Structure 1
Amino acid sequence: MAKKTILSAENISVGFKVRSSELRAIRNVSLELKEQETLAIVGESGSGKSVLTKTFTGMLESNGAITGGTIRYQDKILSDLKKDSDWDGIRGKEIATIFQDPMTSLNPIKTIGSQISEVIIKHQKKSPKEAKQMAIDLMNRTGIPYAEKRYDDYPFQYSGGMRQRIVIAIALACRPKILICDEPTTALDVTIQAQILDLIRELQEEYKFTTIFITHDLGVVASIADRVAVMYAGQIVETGTVEDIYYNPQHPYTWSLLSSLPQLGNRGDQLYSVPGTPPSLYKDIKGDAFAPRSSYAMEIDFAEEPPMFQVSETHFAKTWLLDPRAPKSEKPEIIQNLHEKMVALLKAQAGGIEDVER
């Protein structure tokens, strides 16, 4: 049975007034989010990932605004909401966000437990006693040891990984339908990263929420996402299932991101990095925004913006290389047969772990 659409964005544009100029951070983006799926939004810093998802919770900075398009959440038009008070029934309660740095989300002079309880009292209308018990339960579920004793601790008494678990607990205290995870593991070491990703997956299965996962790390995407949207210069340039993006990528920018995976590098070789820099979003962009950085660019890429071509029922890419008139182009050698390479890599890693355990 096909999953229902819970949120959709149609031709969304976002601009920021900076002095006498306008920065066009999002340029005509369309996106659909299905119930209980995990959608990963990937791309370099500055590609518009966080700005796009801030429009879903009305959290754009004061100099930013939606300048075009429509955002629908269930039966509500979110793009029509203007005041903070209009968002009271949506932000946190229906759509919650976990940010990259937990210390920006936690009040340093309030105890951990009181911060979770406050949210439960506000959004679930529970008594202080009920809220405290529910908060302790959430702390247990998110892996906080001795939760009852640590309820009265302050944020500085928790490690980075534990603070991130508390931020997840606070987000879940609202019982949201959609959870936005904005690079929630970037500041953590690899072991803690894996624990947090596992925790989000387990909680999603238990609470049946939908997840938007923002990241620049394609390695993370493979382990957590159902579908992927690749963003560049304020646009979605490719979207598909994880299998579509990893094993049949079509846009040269996606090729570059995959080529940058450190797991594909050989010992002693220089790791691949995407050449050049992203374009200025203060200026009008002509053609394909990635063309100046791409060795696959054709004349038309510098003159006319490509449409979104359909590759399959689940897979779309915004590149002139998919036009029937375009010459055939082979993707970079490093990502050819990527499926086999990744399988071999996982086997080698598993073998290494076994050797250590022996």
Structure 2
Amino acid sequence: MTKDVVLSAKNISIEFKVRDRTLKAIRDISVDLHDGETLALVGESGSGKSVFTKVFTGMLESNGQISEGQAIYNGQDLTQIKNNKDWEKIRGGQISTVFQDPMTSLNPIKTIGSQISEVIIKHRGESKEEARKIAIDLMDRVGIPDAEKRYDEYPFQYSGGMRQRIVIAIALASKPKILICDEPTTALDVTIQAQIIDLLKELKEEYGFSMIFITHDLGVVASIADKVAVMYSGEIIEYGTVEDIFYDSCHPYTWALLSSLPQLATSKDLYSIKGTPPSLYNEIKGDAFAPRNPQPMAIDFEQAPPKFDVSDTHWAKTWLLDPRAPKLDKPKTIQNLHEKMKNIYKKETI
């Protein structure tokens, strides 16, 4: 059964004015987030993942503008909200964000508890006393030991992992319908990363929110996402379920990302994608990934590929899906990936 769409981006394009030049950061993105689903946005740094999600919270920088498209939430086009007062009804209340660096998300001169309580009072209208109780319960829920005592401590008294748990508690304090997680585990060590991912999955199940998870780490995607949108140079170039992307991917860039998984590295070296993404100041002709593609076709440099449907849940923008294209094998690294991933997870659990 298809779940209801809770957030819909339709043909979103974003431009920035930088020193009298125009940078096209996002190019014609359309994607839906369904009720209770986790949508992962993946791609290299600079691919536009974070910029795109700022559309949903009105947090674009002052030199940026949505040049085209709509973002529909609860029947309202978010791109038409112009003032901060109206945004406050959505941002932090209906749609919350967990950022990458918890230290920059927390006020260093306010106690941990007061920062959670502040959100509860503002968005839920609770009294100061009730907000304190709810905040302590949330702290306990996200795994802060001795929460009642630590309510009155300051951010510097918490470890990095504990601070990130507090940022998650603040994001959930307003009971949002959508949680945007912007690389929430990047600054943490591997063990703490796994704990935060498990925590987010538990909280999503308990609170029933939908989630957009931004990351460049496909290993994280495998453990948390339902759907995956692969971004490159400001556009989505492949979209599908986790199984579609891992085991039936079609775009050469997706192949390259999967080949870069550290878990698949041989004793020799780790695969890396050669070259750099194109400048977004210039008009992109053809497939943006063509100059870095190890096996490009002539048409890749001449004409942008349309969206080819692979299945009801899966599409990609690559000329390889055109019936006239030659049939290319995936890189050896990701052939039989299903078996390789099963073996990896077996080793990790031994």
User: Once the 2 structures are TM-superposed, how far is the Cα of residue 88 of structure 1 from its aligned partner?
Assistant: 1.5
Equivalent in the alignment of 2:95: 95
Q: Write the deviation string for residues 24-79 of structure 1: whole angstroms up to 9, x where unpaired.
A: 00000111000010000000000000000011100001111100011101211101
Q: State whether structure 2 residue 66 is matched by structure 1 residue 66.
A: yes
Which one-letter code corresponds to 2:288 in the other structure?
Answer: A
Equivalent in the alignment of 2:288: 289
Equivalent in the alignment of 1:248: 248
For residues 199-238 of structure 1, what are the structure 2 equivalents within 5 Å?
Answer: 199-238=199-238
Equivalent in the alignment of 2:341: 342
Equivalent in the alignment of 1:41: 41
The ranges of structure 1 where at least 4 consecutive aligned residues each deviate by more than 6 angstroms after the TM superposition are: none
User: Once the 2 structures are TM-superposed, how far is the Cα of residue 86 of structure 1 from its aligned partner?
Assistant: 2.0
User: Once the 2 structures are TM-superposed, how far is the Cα of residue 296 of structure 1 from its aligned partner?
Assistant: 2.3
Q: Report how many residues are paired.
A: 350
- Counterpart-to-counterpart distance in 1, 2:75 and 2:95: 14
Which one-letter code corresponds to 1:162 in the other structure?
Answer: M
Equivalent in the alignment of 1:175: 175
Secondary structure of 2:230's match? strand
- Counterpart-to-counterpart distance in 2, 1:30 and 1:198: 29
Equivalent in the alignment of 1:356: none
Equivalent in the alignment of 1:331: 330
Equivalent in the alignment of 1:155: 155
User: Once the 2 structures are TM-superposed, how far is the Cα of residue 350 of structure 1 from its aligned partner?
Assistant: 2.7
Equivalent in the alignment of 1:19: 19
- Counterpart-to-counterpart distance in 2, 1:157 and 1:344: 40
Equivalent in the alignment of 1:139: 139
User: Once the 2 structures are TM-superposed, how far is the Cα of residue 349 of structure 1 from its aligned partner?
Assistant: 2.7
User: Once the 2 structures are TM-superposed, how far is the Cα of residue 348 of structure 1 from its aligned partner?
Assistant: 2.5
- Counterpart-to-counterpart distance in 2, 1:329 and 1:307: 19
Structure 1: runs of 5+ lacking an equivalent: 352-358
- Counterpart-to-counterpart distance in 2, 1:298 and 1:83: 47
- Counterpart-to-counterpart distance in 1, 2:298 and 2:266: 34
Secondary structure of 2:25's match? strand
- Counterpart-to-counterpart distance in 1, 2:271 and 2:204: 35
Q: Write the deviation string for residues 176-232 of structure 1: whole angstroms up to 9, x where unpaired.
A: 000000000000011110110011000000100000000000000000000100000
Q: CA RMSD in A?
A: 0.7
User: Once the 2 structures are TM-superposed, how far is the Cα of residue 14 of structure 1 from its aligned partner?
Assistant: 0.3
- Counterpart-to-counterpart distance in 2, 1:113 and 1:239: 40
Q: Write the deviation string for residues 140-192 of structure 1: whole angstroms up to 9, x where unpaired.
A: 00000000000000000000000000000000001100000000000001111
User: Once the 2 structures are TM-superposed, how far is the Cα of residue 334 of structure 1 from its aligned partner?
Assistant: 0.7
Q: State whether structure 2 residue 262 is matched by structure 1 residue 262.
A: yes
- Counterpart-to-counterpart distance in 1, 2:347 and 2:125: 52
User: Once the 2 structures are TM-superposed, how far is the Cα of residue 270 of structure 1 from its aligned partner?
Assistant: 1.5
Equivalent in the alignment of 2:106: 106
- Counterpart-to-counterpart distance in 2, 1:345 and 1:135: 39
- Counterpart-to-counterpart distance in 1, 2:279 and 2:108: 37
- Counterpart-to-counterpart distance in 2, 1:5 and 1:74: 9
Q: Write the deviation string for residues 251-270 of structure 1: whole angstroms up to 9, x where unpaired.
A: 00000000001111122x12
User: Once the 2 structures are TM-superposed, how far is the Cα of residue 344 of structure 1 from its aligned partner?
Assistant: 1.5
**Normalised by the size of structure 2, how large is the TM-score?**
0.99
> For structure 1, which segment, 41-50 or 86-95, has the greater mean C-alpha deviation from structure 2 after superposition?
86-95
User: Once the 2 structures are TM-superposed, how far is the Cα of residue 85 of structure 1 from its aligned partner?
Assistant: 1.6
Equivalent in the alignment of 1:126: 126
User: Once the 2 structures are TM-superposed, how far is the Cα of residue 234 of structure 1 from its aligned partner?
Assistant: 0.1
- Counterpart-to-counterpart distance in 1, 2:299 and 2:85: 47
- Counterpart-to-counterpart distance in 2, 1:327 and 1:106: 53
- Counterpart-to-counterpart distance in 1, 2:348 and 2:279: 40
